[in-house]
Amino acid sequence: MTGDGLRGRVALVTGASSGLGRATAAALAEAGAQVIVHGRDAARLAEVAGAVGGVAVPGDLAVPAEVERVAAAALDVAARIDVLVCNAGAGWAGPFEAMPAADGDRLVAVNLAAPIGLTRLLLPQMRRRGGGRLVYVTSIAGRLGVAGEAVYAATKAGLDAFAESLRQELRGSGVTVGVLVPGVVDTPFFVRRGAPYTRGRPRPLPPDRVAGALVRGIAAGSPEIYVPGWLRLPVAVRGLAPAVYRTLAGRFGERVTPADPR
């Protein structure tokens, strides 16, 4: 895919009704891809589809049957998916013991089980054609861990491990695997997780900037895309000097207060 870029490719972007997913859909369309957008909010999704000249496929990825329906509906559009961008995600902030079980189940379903399910359903047609691109939006939380977001971080770490394992498994098949590891992106995610982002640094990045880096990485076949790039540093410190990292994280790590779960 790196040779001829994204023009004419068919891309499915999950979680595209707002934020990073919406910006990614727009960037892919600008690069010449035919975009299929997924989201839970059918009205907003239809607006996005109209803006990017794409097709809307609404659905709730927390429901296993909906994962299968979304994959089937996407394949019905053009009989193939060349690029799968698993961006849809759910969050929750607060002490782990205060987290309702249903919220934990939803995070695991949307953030981890759904990308695995979509991959299972869409990978075979990529392999038959000898090419494709699987892209997963993880999080720096999955690389480092974050106090108050234990389940969210665990799902993103699991997605990272899935992507790395799949990359090794698909070597030589023509199907490549990439991950986006973003820091703080200025989207409604923080409101939805139950606690706003209140730290001065790192400053939230505009979703358009992150989406641009993601699409450039897709076109280049990059296995990992960090945005901003300096996020590689704390990941390296954690790997090389975990005790030092834990000391720094304890001093400077984010603290969150849970929203009323009602």
- Decide if 260 is inside a domain: no
- Decide if 262 is inside a domain: no
Distances (CA, A) of 36 to 75, 80, 233: 10, 11, 35
- Decide if 42 is inside a domain: yes
Instruction: Give the count of domains, the chain.
Output: 1
Would you say residue 187 has pLDDT above 90? no
Q: What is the pLDDT of residue 199?
A: 64
Answer for the pair 240, 176: CB distance below 8 angstroms, yes or no: no
Distances (CA, A) of 9 to 36, 46, 69, 157: 11, 21, 21, 29
Enumerate the active-site residues: 152
- Decide if 2 is inside a domain: no
Q: Residue 98 sits in which domain range?
A: 10-252
Q: What is the CATH number of the domain that holds 28?
A: 3.40.50.720
To the nearest 10 degrees (0 to 180), the angle between helices 207-220 and 19-30 is: 50
pTM above 0.85, yes or no: yes
- Decide if 259 is inside a domain: no
At 226-238, the pLDDT tens digits run: 998 888 888 888 7
Which residue did the predictor score with more confidence, 252 or 125? Answer: 125
- Decide if 4 is inside a domain: no
Would you say residue 222 has pLDDT above 50? yes
